[in-house]
Amino acid sequence: MNKKLAEIIERREALVARSAAQRATVVAITQQWRRPLEIFDTAVRTFRAARRHPVLTALAAVLLARTRYARYARRIGYAVTAWRVFRALSHRGAPAQATAP
């Protein structure tokens, strides 16, 4: 019985070591893809917001067409931040809603 128990313990240790190595690999891959996925997620959220608010999207397109983007990039950033704060505060007291995929 002791020999069988020793084999089980040895196998368990090998599996734990293998699991730790695989976990480290997954963490490395995840860290590598984190920033590109954040950028993609932001782009998807922006697209969805533009789709929900076509008038604001058209207004932004007109403003960008009439002005130079670099000159107003900071103001656009402020507007996006203000919009996010407004959305966060407007949904603060409302019950959570399920979103469609």
Based on the fold, state whether residues 64 and 86 are members of the same structural domain: yes
Task: List the pLDDT tens digit at each of the 101 positions of the chain.
Answer: 688 999 999 999 999 999 999 999 999 998 988 888 898 898 888 888 888 888 888 887 777 767 666 566 677 778 888 888 888 887 765 555 555 54
Residue-number span of the structural domain to which 86 is assigned: 54-92
Contacts of 57 (CB under 8 A, 6+ apart): 50, 51
Within a domain: 98: no
In the chain, how many domains are there? 2
Within a domain: 100: no
| CA-closest candidate to residue 52, choices 87, 88, 14 | 87
Based on the fold, state whether residues 33 and 48 are members of the same structural domain: yes
Based on the fold, state whether residues 67 and 83 are members of the same structural domain: yes
Within a domain: 27: yes
DSSP annotation of 77: H
The tokens of 38 are what?
């954040």
Question: Using one digit for the tens of pLDDT, what is the confidence trace for 26-41?
Answer: 999 989 888 888 988 9
